Structures are given as structure tokens and as C-alpha cells.
């Protein structure tokens, strides 16, 4: 949402750099409301991937509340599970909310995190990594938090790459979809990177799609499974062919 206002300037001096001199006593015009709708195939694609037991996570630069709303809309978040949010406002204090109430890290340790889903912003991620490095939280708790996090919000390019590395360290085979320059590092770091645009991301990712929808990822998975099956059958054919030739020579000798 963007607020629009105007003001008539009788005397304008371009050398004055202080915007506050001009940006006061404005006449309000109204609000410009922008909404980025989900593409038609998004929900069906996510449902299909979840049925195939893929773990789905959103990594975005958007605000945490916006990210949670979109994740609910496209079924990344499970409506049957409670949500824990970590929306820290600085790099020191970890702000954790559960059922609308602030809880401490010690309270979090008492919860069975497998029964919850988590949404965190970039500052919270930085704090958790620092706590892990200082051994204030153990590897098991840290991995549980990351593993149950479905929404990573306000993430910059380095943060996205860090998240991919964290999942790789937990022995996941990581696939990443992205459409912008801020996704390049994560696309390159992932085992399978799919660029959904012709921007810089298409240069960094091993795969790119002309169809700018995440349904392209399902096509990529099917093609890769087909390629793997073809390789196995080719290998079996070559082995059996050699065995048959050897057996024929032995029988005819």
C-alpha cells in the first residue's frame, strides 16, 4: 500500500537536498494498493509436491506477515499445525511468539517442535546461528528449528545461500526455484537450481525454464527421473549383452 499526496511548489531550488523542506503540508490524494496474485498453477503444484513427500519451504525477501499470508494461501503452511513466529527487531534479542504470547528460548526447548511449524525473519536467523556458534543452543535444537521452519522472510542473497547450506548439512537433497538476481547464490548452492526467468538467475542456475511458474519444477523432476531410469536400463543392457556374449563363446568353444 502506497500513500499518495501532492503540493504545489512556487519556488523550487534543486540545490536544497533536505526533502523535509518540501515534504510537508501535503494534500492527501489516496492509497495505491498493489497485490501480487498467485499464479493459477501454484496451489496445484505445491499440493502435488507435498503428496510426493517433498519438504517445501518459502525463502523470500518480503515481510514476515506477508510471507505467512502467502504461505497459507498456497498451502505451504499446514493449517492443522500451530505456528511459532520469530520476528526479531534487532541482532541481539530473539523475539519468539507462540499463541499470541512472547515466550523465551527456554520455553521453546520444552516444546515438541515436530508438532509446530515456524516462520522466522533474517534477524532471528542470524541470532540463532550466533547462539549455535556460542553453543548456547545445541545442534539438535538448532536443526529442529531449521527443519520445522516453513517460512524464511526478509532474507537477502547471502541469507538464502546460508539456508540452502543448512539444509544440505542436514543431508537433504535441495532444490531451489528463483526468478531474480537475489536468488543467484542460492540457485548455485543448491543441488538442483531452477531459474524461472531470463534474468541473472538463469546464468547462475543449472536449469532454466521459459515457463515462469513453479510447475516447471515438476517437469524437471519427471525428466530427471526418466533420465535416471534410462541410465539404469542402459547399464543393465550393456552388462547382460557382455554376459550373453561370454556365455555364447564358452558354449561354442
What is the band of 228 on the pLDDT scale with cuts at 50, 70, 90?
very high
How big is the CA angle at 249 (ends 243 and 253), to the nearest 5 degrees? 150
Q: Which CATH number fits domain 157-238: 3.30.43.10, 3.40.50.300, 3.40.50.1000, 3.10.129.10?
A: 3.40.50.1000
Segment 89-103 mean pLDDT = 91
| Residue 184: predicted pLDDT | 93
| Residue 139: predicted pLDDT | 93
pLDDT over threshold 80, residue 17: no
What is the band of 5 on the pLDDT scale with cuts at 50, 70, 90?
very high
pLDDT over threshold 80, residue 11: no
| Residue 140: predicted pLDDT | 94
| Residue 64: predicted pLDDT | 95
| Residue 54: predicted pLDDT | 95
What is the band of 251 on the pLDDT scale with cuts at 50, 70, 90?
confident
| Residue 63: predicted pLDDT | 92
pLDDT over threshold 90, residue 129: yes
| Residue 250: predicted pLDDT | 87
Cβ proximity of 29 and 22 under 8 Å: no
What is the band of 9 on the pLDDT scale with cuts at 50, 70, 90?
confident
| Residue 12: predicted pLDDT | 74
User: Average pLDDT of the chain?
Assistant: 91
- The full DSSP string for the chain is -EEEEE---SS--TT---GGGTSSSPEEEEEE----PPPTTHHHHHHHHHHTT----EE-SS-HHHHHHHHHHTTSS-TTSEEEEE--SSSS---EEETTEEE-HHHHHTS-GGGEEEEEEHHHHHHHHHHHHTTSS-HHHHHHHHHTEEEEES--HHHHHHHHHHHHHTT---EEEE-SGGGHHHHHHSSEEEE-SSSTHHHHSSEE-SS-STHHHHHHHHHHHHHHHHHHHHHHHHHHHHHHHHHHHHHH-
The proportion of the chain whose per-residue pLDDT surpasses 70, expressed as a percent, equals 100
| Residue 25: predicted pLDDT | 87
What is the band of 151 on the pLDDT scale with cuts at 50, 70, 90?
very high
**Residue ranges of domains in the chain:** 2-32, 157-238
Segment 94-108 mean pLDDT = 92
Span 45-87, pLDDT tens digits: 999 999 999 999 999 999 999 999 999 999 999 988 999 999 9
Amino acid at each position: 500500500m502506497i500513500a499518495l499526496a501532492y503540493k504545489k511548489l512556487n519556488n523550487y531550488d534543486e540545490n536544497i537536498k533536505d526533502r523535509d523542506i518540501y515534504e510537508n503540508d501535503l494534500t492527501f490524494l489516496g492509497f495505491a494498493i498493489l497485490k501480487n496474485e498467485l499464479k493459477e498453477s501454484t496451489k496445484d503444484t505445491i499440493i502435488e509436491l507435498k503428496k510426493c513427500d517433498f519438504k517445501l519451504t518459502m525463502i523470500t525477501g518480503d515481510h514476515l506477515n506477508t510471507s505467512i499470508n502467502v504461505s497459507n494461501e498456497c498451502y505451504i503452511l499446514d493449517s492443522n499445525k500451530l505456528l511459532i513466529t520469530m520476528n526479531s527487531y534487532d541482532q541481539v534479542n530473539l523475539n519468539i511468539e507462540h499463541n499470541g504470547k512472547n515466550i523465551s528460548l527456554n520455553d521453546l526447548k520444552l516444546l515438541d517442535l515436530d508438532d509446530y511449524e515456524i516462520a522466522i525473519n533474517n534477524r532471528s536467523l542470524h541470532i540463532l546461528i550466533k547462539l549455535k556458534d556460542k553453543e548456547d543452543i545445541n545442534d539438535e535444537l538448532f536443526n529442529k528449528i531449521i527443519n520445522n521452519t516453513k517460512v524464511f522472510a526478509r532474507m537477502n542473497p547471502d541469507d538464502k545461500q546460508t539456508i540452502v547450506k543448512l539444509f544440505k548439512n542436514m543431508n537433504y537433497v535441495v532444490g531451489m526455484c528463483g526468478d531474480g538476481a537475489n536468488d543467484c547464490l542460492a540457485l548455485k548452492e543448491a543441488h538442483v537450481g531452477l531459474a524461472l526467468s531470463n534474468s541473472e538467475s538463469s546464468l547462475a542456475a543449472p536449469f532454466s525454464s521459459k515457463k515462469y511458474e513453479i510447475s516447471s519444477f515438476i517437469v524437471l523432476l519427471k525428466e530427471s527421473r526418466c533420465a535416471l531410469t534410462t541410465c539404469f536400463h542402459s547399464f543393465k543392457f550393456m552388462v547382460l549383452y557382455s554376459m550373453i556374449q561370454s556365455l555364447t563363446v564358452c558354449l561354442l568353444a
